[in-house]
Amino acid sequence: MKSILQKDLWSITSFLENKEYNFNKKNILTQLPEKFIDEAINEISSWDNYAPTPLIKLNKLNDELKFQNIYYKDEDKRFDLKSFKALGGAFAVYKIASEKKNITVSTATAGNHGRSVAWGAQRLGLKCKIFISEFVSESRAEAMRNLDAEVIRVKGNYDNSLKECIEQSNKNNWEIVQDVSWEGYKEVPKLIMAGYTIMVKEIIDEINKNSITHVFLQAGVGGMAAAMIAGFAKLSENIPQFIIIEPENADCVFQSIKNNKPTTVDIKKETVMGGMSCGDVSSIAWEILKNSANYCLTIPDEAISTAVALLAEKRLSNEKIIGGECAVPGVIALIGSFNNKEYLDKLKLNSESNVLLFGCEGLTDDAMYQKLLNDGLQKI
């Protein structure tokens, strides 16, 4: 059995300090207004079967790292959708349907966001069209069909599926429920982001005596990361450091921060972190992230299976944790930073640190999870 800190199990490909960091609560809450956050929290908390998801202490990992606490927000328990995405898409569908009748909703997705939109449409008896790329697994497609959505597969990657979704929706007068923004399309992505912020409220309600010092945030288009920052801006007196994590092959936020402007990344090789495989940062997310993210880093695919297996085998906590491929980047980034003194010092991680990780999905693709778990068990 290998040590969980063994350096050949973990690596950080790139590390970047944001030289433009200048946290401004007013500016952040202009991008994601407080009224959106308040309405989302009030509405979602009223839904049937709503309950805060677990905040698990990774006590065994912390025995090695010697911080104050390491918290893992376990979104495997989010409704029946097993992902934080259940919050945003479904809330946006609710808001759109409250203002327009007899609509058809549409979206492009790598899986979890599409399930949220489909679920939101099913709850309200609406038609739903979901566009997916050729790289989305059939099991994820079937999960959306089981929520009464029509699934349309598009040749190419996520960006190709988004383009087709926009074209078909404009042609057929469907209501697009997309978690990425572009010129002229801002309102719905803000609603989706507002839905995510209930996670911050749940966290603060549970650990109000322990101020979070470091938050590791996964980013695809950056919507969740920006929403969590906005949630802390509104709900917390303490503002932690925010560290953005991306796949090395899809690092649009990293490159945008580096260049101080939104930068498109040409994804030449798909990452196993499918929900984070995005070439462009959301314009709304960018307006928040560009001055509020302290650091950005990228990770390789190789460490994903290791982290999945360690969580499942109770090597990081007393509890068995089911974390999908996009749930574990925070674990990888934290251990990778600990193993690199330069990064550890820059992040100011020490015995007084209260670290927050987001396990943003659970078992959303059984075949993918089993493969990662089996591969990881061979490594540990």
Are residues 96 and 215 both part of a single domain? no
Are residues 202 and 319 both part of a single domain? yes
Cα dihedral sign, 303-307-313-317: positive
pLDDT digits (tens, 9 = 90+) for 71-123: 999 999 999 899 999 999 999 999 999 999 889 999 999 888 999 999 999 99
Under a CB-based contact definition with an 8 Å cutoff, are residues 285 and 341 in contact?
no
Are residues 342 and 220 both part of a single domain? yes
Domain that holds residue 118: 85-188
Domain assignment of residue 1, yes or no? no
Concatenated DSSP letters for 211-246?
---EEEEE-SSSHHHHHHHHHHHHH-SS--EEEEEE
Q: Using the predicted structure, report yes or no on whether residue 1 has a pLDDT greater than 80.
A: no
Q: What is the average pLDDT value for the chain, to the nearest integer?
A: 95
For a pLDDT cut of 90, what percent of the chain falls above it?
A: 87
Q: How many domains does the chain have?
A: 2
Are residues 53 and 117 both part of a single domain? no
Give the angle 101-107-111 at the CA atoms, nearest 5°. Answer: 130
Q: Report how far residue 294's alpha carbon sits from residue 16's, in angstroms, rounded to the nearest whole number.
A: 9
**What confidence tier does 296 reach under pLDDT thresholds 50, 70, 90?**
very high
Under a CB-based contact definition with an 8 Å cutoff, are residues 234 and 123 in contact?
no
Q: Report how far residue 81's alpha carbon sits from residue 306's, in angstroms, rounded to the nearest whole number.
A: 24
Domain assignment of residue 2, yes or no? no
Strand-pair partners of 55: 73
Are residues 61 and 106 both part of a single domain? no
Are residues 253 and 196 both part of a single domain? yes
283-292 vs 252-259: helix axis angle to the nearest 10?
Answer: 60
